[in-house]
Structure 1
Amino acid sequence: MISVAVHRNLLRLIGFCTTTTERLLVYPFMQNLSVAYCLRERKPEEPVLDWNLSTGKSSERTDVFGYGIMLLELVTGQRAIDFSRLEEEDDVLLLDHVKKLEREKRLDAIVDRNLNRNYNIQEVEMMIQVALLCTQASPENRPAMSEVVRMLEGEGLAERWEEWQHVEVTRIQEYERMQRRFDWGEDSVYNQDAIELSGGR
């Protein structure tokens, strides 16, 4: 299935090797390695992927949600799913982690530490806002890629962001209301004694 995927922004799978001890996928040579490598696996002597992360070209329409997650990975330098975060918090998903920090207005805690505060905070804020708009739960609420390009160029982002914040506040309030509704304590009238079930079915 991977080998038949053909897209201008994807590497074509050439083949694979498998032995009793390892399985390898063979792709064309990437001189600059992958984005994941540059963000998380580079050696100390290798250059950091700096903020001025740009080709000047926009691509054809793509999966907007995936694009939003990629923006979050670029800004944070972290994986989209990281179980090591369970040691400090409940947010395994990068999206939830960033949403929480954004609500707390802790933008500095979101940005990749490898940048050593060498970035434009207004651009960071814009990138995070665009990423969160792209990763809304309802696909119909996500912007088209053409709109994403305009927002990254500074056009129409403020209005969309204000709408998103209103929706997000309403969603959080609804979630908390549901939590309180079903958060039954030990003395709850809804607590029932265990009953014995009839035989196997």
Structure 2
Amino acid sequence: MNISQKEKKLFEAWSFDRKKFVLDGVVDEDKFAQLTPSICFVLKDVNGKKDDCRDLRSFLKEGAKEPLWDNISRWTHGIRHLQDDIEWSEYQSINKEFRIKELNYIAAFNLKKSSGTTPAHNSNDMLEQSRLLIKKQFELYSADITVCCGTGGQLKWALGLENTPWQVTSRGVQYLEYSSGKFIVSYLHPATRIKDSFLHYALLDAVREIYL
């Protein structure tokens, strides 16, 4: 059973008796499997209309119009080229073709499977209900690098690692080696109001330190 089939089975159980459920996960399974390091992004909830119901994978495959995916596409490209010193001028202007190319390499999932225009509330209650299912989805990907986009504490709790202390890079980014050679990085949301270039290079600096 491939990842897509496993996702389908998991979501059938997860979405049972729920009217609104947003699918997510691996965008292109072949490209995800080819990539070293493999990359997964974990977000809190869907940045969309309250009653919207869609498949995030299709949204990303088509180039993702929302600005936060510009940063995630940059991050993906940078992680794919960790050995290279790429100047910001190459990232400053992001187009749809660039997003499509980069986002097809990743897995991305939300802890909350419903859409909304505001951040998720009562996160601990949400995670209590979905903790096992979140853990199962995380394990489907076994990603080399999992970047938590403002969700580090929540994912850590969902995985039963709440009593495991974070390790810290030399520049202060928190991370865990959750399995041999596989890391969770606790990072900022890609729409955080910090210069995009600062967000980009701080993440790459951390990934280089813990992975290379």
TM normalised by structure 1 equals 0.25
State the structure with bigger RCO (CA 8 A, min sep 6), 1 or 2.
2
TM normalised by structure 2 equals 0.24
Q: Which has the higher strand share?
A: 2
* Structure number, greater radius of gyration: 1
